[in-house]
Homo-oligomer: A and B are copies of this chain.
């Protein structure tokens, strides 16, 4: 199946490599406005056509799918035109700049029987798949809380704040693992630098209230001295720590039997939690993106939604949009209506 990849930046590079290595795909075009970037493509992949004209791709009947890896504010326009030209679409995260745009893309794709995929790569990692498997076997019980920290001293973005940059990873994981509905979102953040006279938050805390008395919290930070990538899931049966910086034991599952202790002394009714055994399953090693390329192909063939379709993309954008609204309102919760 022929694919065109639009946008050859840091991530576009990985996309081209993986689609090119795939048995299922033939990379026909790479499209970028920057001809220097196109020259790099031609050197490494002499057989791939390069172009700066997106319409050339739209009008090529051999192209089945378009991968869009451009800045977020361009996603809607490019994806919409792709869908209207009858192409399946792979969109980078976050899906679009607004809930409205995401909803429109989902509707167009559905009307035209096309696959609309969002690249929430983490959903295709062995570790997240393993967590999902454990939840499906009800090994962790009901999710009481989901606590995520994703901080690092990395590149600042000039066009979106730290929430839009880093939180989509963890929000997409929450969506994949838990079907619970989002009730409200609130966010606190702080901006320490100006970008074209615009304040852009470089540290933020996001709280998501979920139905059934559960809570999710996200700490995202561009200005941390250390890199932390950690999710703690508090289940009613067991608890899980996913530490993505740990090479040998990314997942740790803890028994934590609750035992209520009653004492005669009414001042001292306590619940004692004890830490039990810990177990760290072996995790296979493979490149998530390679697995995702294959999954995209298979879903097109079977005409079924991918594991991170527009639904997943919309869920993430809904929370991001609500977070920005809460930030503007000084931390007042944004209620989510459907």
10 closest cross-chain pairs (CB), A and B: A225-B254, A225-B239, A156-B271, A278-B280, A188-B207, A190-B215, A153-B273, A331-B333, A158-B269, A276-B282
A48 close to B (CB within 8 Å): no
A336 close to B (CB within 8 Å): no
Count of interface residues, chain A, beta-carbon cutoff 8 Å: 75
A147 close to B (CB within 8 Å): yes
Contact check, B156 vs A270: say whether CB atoms are below 8 A apart. Answer: yes
Convert A276-295 into 0s and 1s, putting 1 for each residue whose CB lies closer than 8 angstroms to a CB of B.
11111110000000000000
A85 close to B (CB within 8 Å): no
Q: Which residues of A contact B (CB under 8 A)?
A: 34, 46, 71, 144-145, 147, 149, 151, 153-159, 184, 186, 188-193, 195-196, 203, 205, 207, 209, 213-215, 217, 219, 221-227, 232, 234, 239-241, 245, 247-249, 252, 254-256, 265, 267-282, 330-333
- Do A223 and B144 form a contact, CB below 8 Å, given A205-B205, A214-B190? yes
Select from chain B the residue with minimum beta-carbon distance to A71. B267
- Do A190 and B205 form a contact, CB below 8 Å, given A71-B267, A255-B282? no
Select from chain B the residue with minimum beta-carbon distance to A158. B269
Contact check, A222 vs B277: say whether CB atoms are below 8 A apart. Answer: no
**A278 in complex: contacting residue of B155, B219, B254, B279, CB < 8 Å:** B279
Contact check, B241 vs A158: say whether CB atoms are below 8 A apart. Answer: no
Q: Report the copy number of this chain in the oligomer.
A: 4
18 contacts between A and B (CB under 8 A): A144-B223, A145-B190, A153-B256, A153-B275, A156-B272, A157-B270, A188-B209, A224-B232, A224-B239, A225-B234, A225-B239, A226-B252, A277-B280, A277-B282, A278-B282, A279-B279, A279-B280, A331-B333
**A270 in complex: contacting residue of B155, B282, B333, CB < 8 Å:** B155
With the chains together, A272 CA to B191 CA distance in Å? 16
Contact check, A282 vs B275: say whether CB atoms are below 8 A apart. Answer: yes
Minimum CB–CB distance for A243 against chain B, Å: 10
Minimum CB–CB distance for A78 against chain B, Å: 15
Minimum CB–CB distance for A226 against chain B, Å: 6
Select from chain B the residue with minimum beta-carbon distance to A239. B225
Select from chain B the residue with minimum beta-carbon distance to A193. B271
Minimum CB–CB distance for A286 against chain B, Å: 14
With the chains together, A282 CA to B309 CA distance in Å? 41
Select from chain B the residue with minimum beta-carbon distance to A190. B215
Select from chain B the residue with minimum beta-carbon distance to A217. B205
